[in-house]
Amino acid sequence: MNNYQWYPGHMAKALKSMREDVKSVDVLLELVDARAPESTVNPNIAELAKGKIHILILNKRDMADDSVTKRWLEYYKGKNINAVAVDAKSKEDIKHVNTLIDRLADEKFSGADTRLAKAVEAVGGKLKDRSIKIMVTGIPNVGKSTFINSFAGKAGTRTGNRPGVTKGKQWIRIRKGRELLDTPGVLYVKPLSEEAGMRLAFIGSLNDNNLNIDELALDFLKWVIVTYPGTIIDRYSVPEEEALETMEAIGAKRGALKRGGVIDYEKTAGIIIDDFRNGRLGKMSLEKP
């Protein structure tokens, strides 16, 4: 059976909630994982982002292979897609996102606002400055909450509930003329292939409770030994052999043993996956353009 299942029920429910919120939004910041941008992209984004500024944020760039991330950015540029690579915890990177939003918002809204302002003035009125509304979206575990915290910063003040936003959600005024929805839009993806599902599982975007962790770690070892040779040797000081032998060697080395000295596969698998997800195996990309 395929270890990398998805759940259409979640997807439909999440989409419904997001469709409501997105109505009052000008800018959609779509977070994907810089290590696997293609597999972590939102399936319904084209529909949701229609008429809005859409920026692809390749998050966790600090965990990805820099040369591959650079290629992804060139790839998106070639497709006229706004994309920027960030580490959500870096102030400097957050600044880059703000600069990009300002530039795109100026291009898109300024002209229209000026014309509208002139028309309003002509009849003796004054146009009230309207805030640009920003929303973050992405599949599970791409760093939405972390990004929102950094992006809102200390200056972020809640501006209270307003019509058009789902109950329990609020706008945060992040600076003059910019408001951010405090809750991200979560969407789920149907993996396009078993490999895509595997990548989602590696990075923790599929529910671990539904995964066979031993199988996941074996798949990961198979992949990493071929793609980033030397990684396993460096980290665990064991030879890189067949995935199963390598896993057993890691288990033995780390003392992940059951009664009688047999390898505890589940524990060993947990160590490997945890090391990868916490960046302890080094910077790696799972997909190339």
Which of residues 258 and 280 has its CB atom nearest to ligand GDP in the complex?
280
Check residue 237 for interaction with ligand GDP (CB under 6 A): no
CB neighbour list of residue 216: distance below 8 Å, 6 or more residues apart: 3, 198, 201, 202, 269, 273
Check residue 59 for interaction with ligand GDP (CB under 6 A): yes
Do the Cβ atoms of 17 and 185 come closer than 8 Å? yes
Check residue 89 for interaction with ligand GDP (CB under 6 A): yes
Shortest approach of ligand GDP to residue 143 CB, angstroms?
3
Check residue 60 for interaction with ligand GDP (CB under 6 A): yes
Q: Is the torsion defined by CA of 153, 159, 164, 169 positive or negative?
A: positive
Check residue 37 for interaction with ligand GDP (CB under 6 A): no
Return the one option of Mg ion, ligand GDP, none that residue 198 interacts with (CB less than 5 to 8 A, by type): none
Q: Mark the segment that binds Mg ion (CB under 5 A) among 81-89, 136-144, 201-209, 263-271.
A: 136-144
In the complex, which residue's CB is closest to Mg ion? 145
Shortest approach of Mg ion to residue 220 CB, angstroms?
24
Provide the token pair at 255: 């003392």
DSSP H or E segment with residue 180:
strand 178-181
Check residue 69 for interaction with ligand GDP (CB under 6 A): no
Q: Which amino acid is at 243?
A: A
When binding is defined by CB under 6 A, the residue of 62, 113, 241, 266 that contacts ligand GDP is 62
Alpha-carbon distance 245 to 71, whole Å? 34
Alpha-carbon distance 221 to 200, whole Å? 15
Which of residues 145 and 237 has its CB atom nearest to ligand GDP in the complex?
145
When binding is defined by CB under 5 A, the residue of 67, 99, 110, 145 that contacts Mg ion is 145
Check residue 210 for interaction with ligand GDP (CB under 6 A): no
Integer angstrom CA distances of residue 164 from 25, 27, 28, 105, 270: 10, 15, 16, 21, 43
Question: Parallel, antiparallel, or unpaired: how do β-strands 171-175 and 82-85 relate?
Answer: unpaired
When binding is defined by CB under 6 A, the residue of 146, 159, 207, 212 that contacts ligand GDP is 146
Check residue 139 for interaction with Mg ion (CB under 5 A): no
Do the Cβ atoms of 34 and 87 come closer than 8 Å? no
Give the residues lining the site for ligand GDP (CB under 6 A): 59-60, 62-63, 87-89, 138, 140-146, 279
